[in-house]
Amino acid sequence: MQKVLLKLSLICIAYSLVIGITGCSTRQIPADLIIRNATVYTVDAANPEAQAIVVRADTIVYVGTNEAADAYKGTLTKTIDAGGSFVMPGFIEGHGHIHNLGDFLRDINLMNVSGFDEIVAKVKAAADKAQPGEWIIGRGWHQEKWTNKPQENFLGYPYHDALSAVSPNNPVLLTHASGHSLYINKKAMDMAGITPATPNPTGGDIVKDKNGRLVGVLEETAMGLVRQYYGAYIMQQTEAQRRDKWLSGLQLAEEDCLRKGITSFVDAGSSFTQIKWMKGLADSGKLKLRHWMMIRDGNAALRAGASTFPIIDAGNGHLTMNAIKVSLDGALGSYGAWLLEPYADRAGFIGQNTFDMDTLRAIAAFAWDKNIQLCVHAIGDKANRETVNIFAEQIAKDKSKDHRWRVEHAQHVHPAEIPRFKEWNIIASMQGIHCTSDAPFVIKRLGEQRAETGAYMWRAFMDAGVLVNNGTDVPVEDADPMPNFFASVTRQLKDGSTFYPKQKMTRQEAIYSYTMANAMAQFEENKKGSLTPGKYADIVILSNNLLSCSDADILNTKVQYTIVGGKLAYEGK
């Protein structure tokens, strides 16, 4: 490299002498990519705005003016004239489920159905084509979001009978959008031996009406009663068959993210087998996104698999895994959030503690000793309190350690918890879109007072000095950053009302939460999260300026280019 520089400067001096001009000393080694004529927002406080970005191989080498960037132009340099478009660091999905997204894109999509009738119709179409005994799988329904409300229901859930009638020979398993409950049909109940007399497992509910009639819904840990049979059905296949099916979903998931301007993805809970498959893809250079993964397994399995930790930057920065995921409670929509006081709309019910506390304590000790990040899903205020307590027991051993332990969601907290996040340096890994998506039922579940002082408190967290990162929990919500960004800065619902707008983020804060804060929450702020020389050239070019466009135009913003490691990974039409 030094020889080349010397040669270039000698040519430069000679050239200057011949034609008698100065300024040639700015001539640079040619780059692979120049993006110019852009409105660049770098998320780098030292150099916040620019016109151009220069990339060599997978790294940013210069951020500044068009003129200076042009000095890097060689015969092989690709140039993108952004025509004034808005350029920022690629979005980092701060908490999603890449494998579930893949399944969701491959299986029956129930995300936007109008009601139960449409679900039944979709299942009927699948059952008519299925082999006897084949499982029918779908995801994304949410009873609170149906416009066509069911006539006969319990807690908003219609009874399973219509579902059972259209699929008498095929077990049906339909996961709630949140991932915290299931609809099943009679065939699946029979396989799992579920009757009105079956007791609820700890941390779960087989939903029955007041007369003891089975509704067909399993909440939280009760999902395991049927999932184990689906798991056994899948395990009849060879590993190669399972991997092929998984890979077909993963590829759909990566493409979906790239189309939406996402360059890095945090997966909140993979198995050891999925990690092994991901590592194989990373090592052969086949991953298109950068993946940062948490492993989810029991205490004994984590210890037995300890040698898997850590995977850092496999496949040239495409796969890192040095984190553990535990879910301590469920979700608010499915009455699974573990609360200090009962639900306002389910008398005497405080939700579900879905993970044994002593086991979590043991996992926390293991993670602390091995320098592994611990990421605990906590939605209800009780779950958040218990998580902070367990984190604090370990962190107290050495408060100076840069642990970056995370509470996933931190969705509903008692106001007393917010300073405790700061005290123990805990990250609040939040999802802006959950606020506006859940808002229609939050007050119903929690009542006004708890909703106002405890729900989706990202402004209060940030004001207290807590790092708040952002994501969508895809496929719970769509991975599209625009509705999530819109929710973070407006807290505006579809009907135009706003949910406690005092907790809004500014535009700058929301971009930061989606870029640098996510990079920090994964120990990768030196590699990504801002457009800074020396970092990966992970860049998105957008049709609207997210700092200055109208609120409504945020939702009309199109992704023009997604660039991962200097390579064009998606080009919009």
Q: In angstroms, give the least distance from the CB of 375 to Zn ion.
A: 10
- For Zn ion, the binding residues in 231-250 under the rule CB under 5 A are none
Options 451-459, 470-478, 494-502, 532-540: segment touching Zn ion (CB under 5 A): 470-478
Q: Which of 438, 138, 98 minimizes the C-alpha distance to 268?
A: 98
Q: In angstroms, give the least distance from the CB of 474 to Zn ion.
A: 9
* Contact letters for Zn ion, residues 95-134 (x by CB under 5 A): ----------------------------------------
Tokens of 269: 């809970």
If the CB atoms of residues 269 and 454 are measured against Zn ion, the closer one turns out to be: 269
If the CB atoms of residues 179 and 529 are measured against Zn ion, the closer one turns out to be: 179
If the CB atoms of residues 438 and 473 are measured against Zn ion, the closer one turns out to be: 473
Which residue do the tokens 């002498």 mark?
A: 17
If the CB atoms of residues 170 and 411 are measured against Zn ion, the closer one turns out to be: 411
Q: In angstroms, give the least distance from the CB of 21 to Zn ion.
A: 59
Options 261-269, 286-294, 381-389, 451-459: segment touching Zn ion (CB under 5 A): 261-269
Distance from C-alpha of 311 to C-alpha of 320, rounded to nearest angstrom: 5
Options 243-251, 263-271, 311-319, 495-503: segment touching Zn ion (CB under 5 A): 263-271
Q: In angstroms, give the least distance from the CB of 223 to Zn ion.
A: 15
If the CB atoms of residues 473 and 538 are measured against Zn ion, the closer one turns out to be: 473
Options 18-26, 383-391, 465-473, 545-553: segment touching Zn ion (CB under 5 A): 465-473
Options 109-117, 126-134, 268-276, 433-441: segment touching Zn ion (CB under 5 A): 268-276
If the CB atoms of residues 166 and 268 are measured against Zn ion, the closer one turns out to be: 268
Q: In angstroms, give the least distance from the CB of 408 to Zn ion.
A: 6
Cβ 530 vs Cβ 536: under 8 Å: no
Q: In angstroms, give the least distance from the CB of 294 to Zn ion.
A: 10
Distance from C-alpha of 261 to C-alpha of 515, rounded to nearest angstrom: 12
Tokens of 4: 């080349």
Options 396-404, 434-442, 467-475, 502-510: segment touching Zn ion (CB under 5 A): 467-475
Instruction: Give the β-pairing of 172-176 and 136-141.
Output: parallel
If the CB atoms of residues 269 and 565 are measured against Zn ion, the closer one turns out to be: 269
If the CB atoms of residues 63 and 262 are measured against Zn ion, the closer one turns out to be: 262
Tokens of 391: 């984190």
Which residues have a Cβ under 8 Å from the Cβ of 390 and sit 6 or more positions away? 357, 360, 361, 364, 376
Q: In angstroms, give the least distance from the CB of 39 to Zn ion.
A: 34
Instruction: Count the Cβ atoms, other than its own, within 10 Å of residue 351.
Output: 28
If the CB atoms of residues 256 and 473 are measured against Zn ion, the closer one turns out to be: 473
Q: Three-state DSSP class for 77? A: coil
478 touches Zn ion by CB under 5 A: no
If the CB atoms of residues 194 and 427 are measured against Zn ion, the closer one turns out to be: 427
Q: Three-state DSSP class for 431? A: coil
Q: In angstroms, give the least distance from the CB of 313 to Zn ion.
A: 24
Give, for 560, the enclosing helix (H) or strand (E).
strand 559-564
If the CB atoms of residues 178 and 530 are measured against Zn ion, the closer one turns out to be: 178
Cβ 95 vs Cβ 266: under 8 Å: yes
Options 24-32, 146-154, 262-270, 514-522: segment touching Zn ion (CB under 5 A): 262-270
* Contact letters for Zn ion, residues 326-365 (x by CB under 5 A): ----------------------------------------
Q: Phi/psi of residue 345, each to 5°?
A: -115, 20
Tokens of 503: 């907790």
Chosen residue from 256, 267, 297, 473 binding Zn ion by CB under 5 A: 473
If the CB atoms of residues 267 and 524 are measured against Zn ion, the closer one turns out to be: 267
If the CB atoms of residues 40 and 323 are measured against Zn ion, the closer one turns out to be: 323
Q: Which of 224, 295, 231, 290 minimizes the C-alpha distance to 262?
A: 290
Distance from C-alpha of 513 to C-alpha of 87, rounded to nearest angstrom: 16
Options 267-275, 296-304, 329-337, 338-346: segment touching Zn ion (CB under 5 A): 267-275
Options 103-111, 266-274, 426-434, 477-485: segment touching Zn ion (CB under 5 A): 266-274
Residues in contact with Zn ion, total (CB under 5 A)? Answer: 2
Q: Three-state DSSP class for 514? A: helix
Q: In angstroms, give the least distance from the CB of 99 to Zn ion.
A: 12
By the 10 Å C-beta count (0-12 exposed, 13-18 middle, 19+ buried), 80 is classed as buried
Which residues have a Cβ under 8 Å from the Cβ of 288 and sit 6 or more positions away? 254, 255, 258, 564, 569
Q: Phi/psi of residue 376, each to 5°?
A: -110, 125
268 touches Zn ion by CB under 5 A: yes
Amino acid at 333: G
Q: In angstroms, give the least distance from the CB of 507 to Zn ion.
A: 26
Give, for 174, the enclosing helix (H) or strand (E).
strand 172-176
3-state secondary structure 182-249: EEECHHHHHHHCCCCCCCCCCCEEEEECCCCCEEEEEEEHHHHHHHHHHHHHHHCCCHHHHHHHHHHH
Interface with Zn ion (CB under 5 A): 268, 473
